[in-house]
Amino acid sequence: MSIRYGSILLFERFLNPERISMPDADIDFADKTRYKIINYVIEKYGRESGVSDHQLWPYEPKMVVRDVARVMGISVAEASKLAGLVDKDIESSISGNGELSQND
Burial letters 18-57, b for 16+ CB under 10 A, else e: eeeeeeeeeeeeeeeeeeeeeeeeeeeeeeeeeeeeeeee
For position 75, what pLDDT does the model report?
94
Question: Has residue 82 got a pLDDT over 80?
Answer: yes
> Could you tell me the pTM of the whole model?
0.40
The three-state secondary structure class of 14 is: helix
For position 59, what pLDDT does the model report?
73
For position 15, what pLDDT does the model report?
67
For position 55, what pLDDT does the model report?
64
**Residue 78's pLDDT band (cuts 50, 70, 90):** very high
Name the DSSP class of 21.
Answer: S
**pLDDT tens for each residue of 3-60:** 566 666 566 656 677 777 766 666 777 888 888 988 888 899 888 877 776 666 667 8
